[in-house]
Amino acid sequence: MQRNYYQEQIETMPPEQLRALQSEKLVKQVKHVYDHVPYYRDLMDQKGVRPEDIHGVEDLHKLPFLTKNDLRDTYPYGMLAVPLADCVRIQSTSGTTGKRVIAYYTQHDIDLWEDCCARAIMAAGGTREDVVQVCYGYGLFTGGPGLNGGSHKVGSLTLPMSSGNTERQIQFMMDLKATILCCTPSYAAYLGESLKERGYKPQDNALKAGIFGAEPWTEEMRRDIEKSLGIKAYDIYGLTETSGPGVAFECEEQKGMHINEDHFIAEIIDPDTGEVLPEGSRGELVFTSLDKEAFPLLRYRTRDICVLSRKKCSCGRTHVRMSKPMGRSDDMMIIRGVNVFPSQIETVLLNEGYAPNYRIEVDRVNNSDTLDVYVELTPDQFSDTVSAITAKERALAGAIKTMLGINPVVHLVPPKSIERSEGKAVRVVDKRKLHD
Amino acid sequence: MSIRQLTVFVENRRGCLAGITDLLAKNSIDLRALSIADTKDFGILRLIVSDSEKALSVLRESGVLVQITEVIGVKLSDRPGELSAVLAALDRAGINVEYLYAFLTRTEQNAYVVLRVEDNEIATGILAKAGFCPVGEEDLKAL
């Protein structure tokens, strides 16, 4: 079978060689940070770790962690490791969970980020013959610029659509015969719906693959998107703090995302104790950049909960695979003492034949948490009697109870009445005033 | 001999019902009869209209969740006890009525009842045999 790699030698490097490469880069990266980022130097000094204590990957655990709070505290320049004059770009987080984080890039940093995205596009079957429609947002958000850059590196024709304007997205998709779609999974699902509404069948478009990320999605949602667009849907992972999308990406196996280990070391830790957990354990994902100039982060805690696997992959890539994040600690709600991830509710909806358009409302009434789930009724499930519809509500509530262990109140609402997102979907409204 | 009823899912929210009736009015669709079943969250609006096909497409186009439900109709004399007699006849035959609603006309001395039952043909047959006068869509159009 024809293999499709962007940087074959690195992507298929034997594990021992890869680890040696990481060790060599890590020593340099730690020294670079220690010399140029006073904030992290202080953290290392407090822990009594010196750059010369780090001889390789085996010493990584000696380094202190960084969290999003550290990045907020050092806003806007505190983590910068090169003179501003050497930087050519910034990108920024959306700031939805607090103060924005600004990431800086030298040209070298942009190049390595775009290389990562190029690997992702080629792993999804992309070549210079392809037409890549990028409908991630362009601007401060890393999604658009990252995939745009990756697509250029592959040599594909790039459609820099940015997010929104569905009418125009569909027109370009059909008229220019886009073959690879890059956007959030919720927007991909929405495009699938919109195409259907306009009378297009899945085989009417020229798409063969989609690269979807930037928000949590489930296997069920993948199957839905694959069916509605007639494509193979690939997951991509990344975060602004480490560069952007492309830190990890799926190959044709669709069983976890290969982390670009020549640029990032991944660890899984116990989120409570910070202890490094063995391969195969579920825990918080931590990244250490290996060759970034402007914004190098050592042991950055992502808050994403996942599992790493070094099992050999049939695609030939040797880089470790991470599971789809099972949730984020920022996403996780504690309702009546139970940990609840929106993705669990989404799984139930898709299994029960509903569209993944929902809104979760959490509130506290008389000191007790309430969970209300609003779900769109589909034409197939509509009925002319109240009893039939309330029976559906009860059945869905029962299925959610089985999954979560707590009883929700399900409200079926008309189709299209839940706001569609063209970027990241806002699916959870927590009305509890837990902190005054 | 059945009647096409429009069944519309409406949110229990201010303005929702008016939005639907406005839409029908703007398209010159006349309402013959209507009933609504409501819960805290939603309502099910059931309509008999002058042109069900047109109403269906108008509502669908504007994104309203609507379907056609086949119901039956029966014409009754407008006097006490008539509806009870209809229900008794159906009951004797073991036929459940899911819901029903009635309407009067301006010109006739009759009342009309719309019934939702499991099997329209059987129920219509029973009503006819019991001496009642089942009506179809065409009969209502003529009113």
Complex-level ipTM = 0.83
Rounded Cα gap, residues B89 and A228, in angstroms: 50
Radius of gyration of chain A measured on its C-alpha atoms: 22
- Which helix (H) or strand (E) is A186 found in, with range? helix A185-197
Q: Which residues does B contribute to its contact with A (CB < 8 Å)?
A: 5, 7, 9-11, 37-39, 41-42, 44, 46, 63-65, 67, 69, 98-99, 116
Q: Which CATH class is domain A333-430?
A: alpha beta
DSSP string, chain B: --EEEEEEEEESSTTHHHHHHHHHHHTTPPEEEEEEEE-SSEEEEEEEES-HHHHHHHHHHTT--EEEEEEEEEEEESSTTHHHHHHHHHHHTTPPEEEEEEEE-SS-SEEEEEEEES-HHHHHHHHHHTT-EEE-HHHHHT-
Beta-strand ranges (E) seen in A124-221 are 131-134, 157-160, 180-183, 209-213
Contact by Cβ (8 Å): B131, B82: no
**A332 pLDDT exceeds 80?**
no
Q: Mutate which of B65, B69, B99 to disrupt the A interface (most A C-beta within 10 Å)?
A: B65
Q: What is residue B66's predicted lDDT score, i.e. its pLDDT? A: 95
Nearest CA in chain B to A380: B67
- Counting every residue, how long is chain A? 436
Architecture of domain A1-329: 3-Layer(aba) Sandwich (3.40)
Exposed, middle or buried: residue A393 (CB in 10 Å: 0-12, 13-18, 19+)? Answer: buried
Q: Which DSSP category does A317 fall into?
A: -
CATH 3.30.300.30 region(s) of chain A? 333-430
Assign A143 to helix, strand or coil.
Answer: helix
With beta carbons under 8 A apart, name residues in chain A contacting B37.
385-386
Q: What are phi and psi of A75, to 5 degrees?
A: -55, 140
Amino acid B106 reads R
The Cβ-side half-sphere exposure at A91, using a 13 Å CA radius, reads 24
With beta carbons under 8 A apart, name residues in chain B contacting A379.
65, 67
Rounded Cα gap, residues A92 and A240, in angstroms: 7
Structural domains of chain B ordered from first start: 3-69 (3.30.2130.10), 71-141 (3.30.70.260)
Nearest by CB to residue A414, choosing from B11, B37, B46, is B11
Name the pLDDT band for A328 (thresholds 50, 70, 90).
low
Does A76 sit behind a cis peptide bond, omega within 30 degrees of 0 on the bond before it?
A: yes
CB atoms within 10 A of CB A287: 26
Tokens of A71: 């990045």
**A330 pLDDT exceeds 90?**
no
Average pLDDT over every residue of A49-65: 97
Rounded Cα gap, residues A270 and A305, in angstroms: 10
Q: What is the largest CA-CA distance in chain A?
A: 74
Q: What is residue A276's predicted lDDT score, i.e. its pLDDT? A: 97
Nearest CA in chain B to A411: B41
Average pLDDT over every residue of A227-251: 96
**A369 pLDDT exceeds 90?**
no
Average pLDDT over every residue of A19-40: 98
Contact by Cβ (8 Å): A290, A264: yes
Assign A328 to helix, strand or coil.
Answer: strand
pTM over 0.80: no
Q: What is residue A178's predicted lDDT score, i.e. its pLDDT? A: 98
Rounded Cα gap, residues A88 and A103, in angstroms: 11
Average pLDDT over every residue of A290-310: 95
Residue B46 Cα distances to A411, B54, B100, angstroms: 20, 16, 10
CB-CB under 8 Å, B99 with A385: yes
Contact by Cβ (8 Å): A204, A159: no
**B112 pLDDT exceeds 60?**
yes
Q: What is the mean pLDDT of chain A?
A: 91
Residue A31 Cα distances to A145, A241, A290, angstroms: 30, 19, 11
Rounded Cα gap, residues B115 and B101, in angstroms: 7
* pLDDT > 90 fraction of chain B, expressed in percent and rounded: 72
Q: What is the mean pLDDT of chain B?
A: 91
Average pLDDT over every residue of B37-62: 92
Comparing A337 with A103, the larger pLDDT belongs to: A103
Q: What are phi and psi of A127, to 5 degrees?
A: -140, 180
Q: What is residue A1's predicted lDDT score, i.e. its pLDDT? A: 45
Rounded Cα gap, residues B37 and A101, in angstroms: 51
Q: Which residues does A contribute to its contact with B (CB < 8 Å)?
A: 377, 379, 382, 384-386, 389-390, 411-417
**A106 pLDDT exceeds 90?**
yes
Average pLDDT over every residue of A192-201: 93
Rounded Cα gap, residues B113 and B101, in angstroms: 6
Nearest by CB to residue A417, choosing from B7, B11, B46, is B11
Comparing A226 with A381, the larger pLDDT belongs to: A226
**A424 pLDDT exceeds 60?**
no
Q: What is residue A423's predicted lDDT score, i.e. its pLDDT? A: 55
Q: Calculate how close chain A gets to B119, using CA atoms only, in Å.
A: 15
**A290 pLDDT exceeds 90?**
yes
Exposed, middle or buried: residue A378 (CB in 10 Å: 0-12, 13-18, 19+)? Answer: middle
Q: What is residue A436's predicted lDDT score, i.e. its pLDDT? A: 41
Least confident of A120-124, A162-166, A345-349: A345-349
Comparing B126 with A220, the larger pLDDT belongs to: B126
Q: Calculate how close chain A gets to B107, using CA atoms only, in Å.
A: 30
**A435 pLDDT exceeds 70?**
no
**A195 pLDDT exceeds 90?**
yes
The number of angstroms, rounded, from the C-alpha of A12 to the middle of its chain's C-alpha atoms is 23
CA geometry: angle A400, A406, A410, nearest 5 deg: 50
β-partners of residue B95 are: none
Q: Which DSSP category does A263 fall into?
A: T
Assign A194 to helix, strand or coil.
Answer: helix
Q: What is residue A161's predicted lDDT score, i.e. its pLDDT? A: 96
CATH 3.40.50.12780 region(s) of chain A? 1-329
Least confident of A10-14, A177-181, A325-329: A325-329
